[in-house]
Amino acid sequence: MTRQTFSALVSTGIHVPPHEVPNDVLRERFPAFVDKVETPSGIRTRFHAPDDEATSDLAAKAGRAALEAAGLEPRDVDLILVGTDTPDHLTPSTSVIVQHLLGAERAGTFDVGCACASFPTALATANGLIATNPAIRNVLVIGAYLMHRLADPDDPMFFFYGDGAGAAVVRASDRPGLEASAFRANGAHAKQWLIQSGGTREPASHESIDAGRTKVRMVEKYPREINEEGWPMLFRTVCDRAGWKVEDVDLAIFTQVRKSQILRVAEGLGLGSDRTHLIMHKWGYTGSACIPMALHDALDEGRLSAGDKVVLVGSGVGYNQSAVALKITPDLLR
């Protein structure tokens, strides 16, 4: 077998769960908070998964959609990467459960745990593995999020959490599709937005459950500079590594948590609002899933053409940030 140097996205797929929770429902519970954040966030509604589904169920449905779009069977998959910070369990990995649900018996799996930066990180990982491993041809990359299940319904931050999953098939290619990646992190912010209890630092106990420490919490306000300075830095870095000029980028997709912040960053980069894509008005903040869901939505709306240059920038609590530069290939537009 010959070594494969390049990889490209050949399909995408998403899953949006059925139960819609519009803002007016949450306004009854948090009137002042919803009135304050509705406009800057751009969030109008969100969808929640049924009580009998876990993150793996959402991921498998999005993964199956991406495989069908690529014309692949589960047995064709060599590797499954699942990016999430809402796993089914602390152990085993969510990806191995997804593998079983899909019936992808040949596939190896692992999870990527960089919160909302997980999907671009997983794409970059798939690209590197394909480039150095001729036995790996088809990689299924999934971002999935079910944070409402891990949140306190009496916490106003519950407003943001929408469930969903997005997936892409990354395939070995004779021409570049995934062209560059870049990463950034600062663990000094790890205690600002987290689930405090349930891991090895503080195993779950009656006390921690009663105190709400097994639920996700924003303990300290997250500095907006993390994204408003970090996103442009990563954007320019990944463009430079791909040999692109910033002004040549056709579409930028940022973590879909706050519309006003995305538009400020886009304007600062000289892209303008017409070269970004937003989905929070449709599905809320879908965390680890928002970037693949936004990419799929942009493709579905016909916003991209073959040869277009796209930059994905993800930002997760902790913090982790990552970016990838990808070129749209004809296969992705089928």
How many CA atoms within 13 Å lie on the side-chain side of 135?
A: 5
**Do 262 and 170 share a structural domain?**
no
Q: Are residues 165 and 240 in the same domain?
A: no
List, in sequence order, every residue forming a beta bridge with 194; answer none if it has no partner.
217
| Shared domain check, 140 and 241 | no
The rounded distance, in Å, linking the Cα atoms of 315 and 234 is 10
The CA-based dihedral angle spanning residues 128, 130, 133, 136, taken in that order and rounded to the nearest 10 degrees:
140
Q: What is the mean pLDDT of residues 198-212?
A: 97
- Examine residue 206 and state whether it is found in any structural domain, yes or no: no
Q: What is the pLDDT of residue 333?
A: 87
Both 134 and 248 in one domain: the answer is no
- What CATH code is carried by the domain that includes residue 76? 3.40.47.10
- Residues with Cβ < 8 Å from 36, sequence gap 6 or more? none
Same domain, yes or no, for 142 and 73? yes
- pLDDT tens figures, 233-285: 999 999 999 999 999 999 999 999 999 999 999 999 999 899 999 999 999 99
**Side chain identity at 52, as an amino acid letter?**
D
Position 269 in a domain:
yes
Does 196 map to a domain?
Answer: no
Q: Which of residues 146, 175, 204 is at a domain's end?
A: 175
Q: Which two tokens stand for residue 68?
A: 């069908």
Q: Of 122, 155, 175, which one is at a domain's C-terminal end?
A: 175
111 shares a domain with 244? no
pLDDT value, residue 5: 77
Q: Is residue 155 part of a domain?
A: yes
| 204: in domain | no
Q: Is 110 helix (H, G, I), strand (E, B) or coil?
A: strand
Q: Are residues 41 and 164 in the same domain?
A: yes
Say whether both 11 and 143 belong to one domain: yes
Task: Determine the pLDDT at residue 190.
Answer: 93
Please tell me whether residues 96 and 239 are part of one structural domain: no
305 within 8 A of 216, measured Cβ to Cβ: no
Flag whether 69 is in a domain: yes
Residues 58 and 166 in one domain: yes
Let me know if residue 211 belongs to a domain.
no
Instruction: Please give the average per-residue pLDDT across 143-153, as a whole number.
Output: 98
Sheet of 79-83, strand order: 6-15, 164-173, 138-145, 79-83, 108-112
Pair 53, 144 in one domain? yes
| pLDDT of residue 2 exceeding 70 | no
Which residue, chain included where needed, has tokens 């916490």? 155
pTM to 2 decimal places:
0.97
pLDDT band at 1 (very low <50, low <70, confident <90, very high): very low
**Averaged pLDDT, 144-163:** 97
| Rg, C-alpha atoms of the chain | 19
pLDDT tens track for 40-84: 999 999 999 999 999 999 999 999 999 999 999 999 999 999 999
Q: How many domains is the chain partitioned into structurally?
A: 2
Task: Taking residues 303-312, report their average pLDDT.
Answer: 97
Q: Which of 140, 175, 210 is the C-terminal boundary of a domain?
A: 175
Confidence category of residue 3, pLDDT binned at 50, 70, 90: low
Q: Are residues 116 and 58 in the same domain?
A: yes
Q: What is the reported pLDDT for 187?
A: 95
| Domain enclosing residue 126, as ranges | 6-175
Q: For the chain, what is the mean pLDDT?
A: 96
Q: Please indicate, yes or no, if residue 15 is contained in any of the structural domains.
A: yes
